Amino acid sequence: MLEHRKISGVYWSLASLHMMDCLDDLPKEEIIEWVFKTYDKDSGGFGANEQLDPQLLSTLSAVQILAIYNELDRLDMEKVVEYIKSLQNEDGSFSGDQWGEVDTRFSYGALLCLKIMNRLEDVDVDKAIDYVLRCRNFDGGFGCIPGAESHAGQIFCCVGALALTNSLNRTDVDLLGWWLSERQLPCGGFNGRPDKKEDVCYSWWVLSSMAMLGKIDWIDREKLTEFILKCQSPEGGIAYRPGGMPDVFHTFFGLGALSLMDCPDLKRIDPKYALGTEVVELIENVRN
């Protein structure tokens, strides 16, 4: 796993194992101990690996890992919340780290992290959603910043942000559902934008978005299932397309899509949280 994505790789692995009911196959305490080695006490954020700068998406992965293990109480929640608050900009957007890059991935990451911790009220949610909506395009999709091309990965982030804040009524769900359904190719897989090739990762980003929009029946589930299974390697894991090398990134997204299509061998995943529904129920029980 690349240094700059290691903590996300751990999250993808654990979320995959949870769907397969094999979470106990990895040592819980060793993993949690390592996660806290990536924690920056000064800022309250987590890095992608030990001795790397804190970053918003890495912080989200850390929080998701602790949620999977039902160990959120180990967090210094006030410090983590303050870190996320410090990354919200005046226009409602979020920066990914201290260097200031802005992207709708960070809007979703910030809102999801706070939602898991039951602290959404600590940021300006109205401004955050107004910014996300400014990233909407004429075709119904969303880009990484205002005026950027619609892309399935960014759409997942924007739809997720809207769903987490009960704001889906502020966008045209039918137009967006049409754009997403157009991503399915004759092979059954999805691409991320027009005139691009299929990739298993879009199976999750498109399908989870459609699930949140209530449009999952607009695609051919049977053909998508066949495509994902063709990407499975004889050595285990799922590749980006048939014949490719498997990795934890595409394995998680392939399993996640199969879970959303009610694969009988997998536990159900929640499309907003990208966590198992059992994990989300525990989070919500604590909140209530």
User: In this predicted structure, what is the pLDDT of residue 285?
Assistant: 84
Residue matched to tokens 């900009």: 89
Residues 177 and 271 in one domain: yes
- Show contacts of 186-189: CB within 8 Å, 24+ apart: 187/223, 187/227, 188/220, 188/222, 188/223, 188/224, 188/225, 188/226, 188/227, 189/224, 189/227, 189/228, 189/241
- Name the nearest CA neighbour of 79 among 44, 109, 47: 44
Asked whether the beta carbons of 215 and 183 are under 8 A apart, the reply is no
Residues 49 and 18 in one domain: yes
Element (H, E) at 270: strand 269-270
User: In this predicted structure, what is the pLDDT of residue 5?
Assistant: 85
Residues 149 and 176 in one domain: no
The pTM score is 0.97
Alpha-carbon distance 215 to 194, whole Å? 20
User: In this predicted structure, what is the pLDDT of residue 2?
Assistant: 65
User: Residue 232: which domain range?
Assistant: 172-288
Asked whether the beta carbons of 255 and 266 are under 8 A apart, the reply is yes
Residues 41 and 153 in one domain: no
Segment 108-126, tens digit of pLDDT = 999 999 999 999 999 999 9
Residues 114 and 220 in one domain: no
Return the half-sphere exposure (C-beta side, CA atoms, 13 A cut-off) of residue 261: 23
CA angle 149, 214, 102 (to 5 degrees): 30
Residues 97 and 145 in one domain: yes
Q: How far is CA 5 from CA 10, 47, 80, 155, 267, in A?
A: 9, 9, 19, 21, 25
Average pLDDT over residues 196-213: 99
Residues 176 and 246 in one domain: yes
Average pLDDT over residues 155-171: 99
Element (H, E) at 4: none
Rounded to 5 degrees, φ, ψ at 22 are -125, 25
Segment 132-148, tens digit of pLDDT = 999 999 999 999 999 99
Q: How many CB atoms within 10 Å of residue 20? A: 14
Distance of CA 41 to the CA centre of its chain: 25
Residues 255 and 220 in one domain: yes
Residues 185 and 218 in one domain: yes
Asked whether the beta carbons of 224 and 189 are under 8 A apart, the reply is yes
Total domains present in the chain: 3
Residues 125 and 54 in one domain: no
Last-in-domain residue among 142, 166, 190: 166
Q: How many CB atoms within 10 Å of residue 73? A: 8
Last-in-domain residue among 82, 102, 136: 82
Last-in-domain residue among 149, 166, 183: 166
Segment 77-96, tens digit of pLDDT = 999 999 999 999 999 999 99
Residues 212 and 132 in one domain: no
Average pLDDT over residues 57-83: 98
Residues 40 and 130 in one domain: no
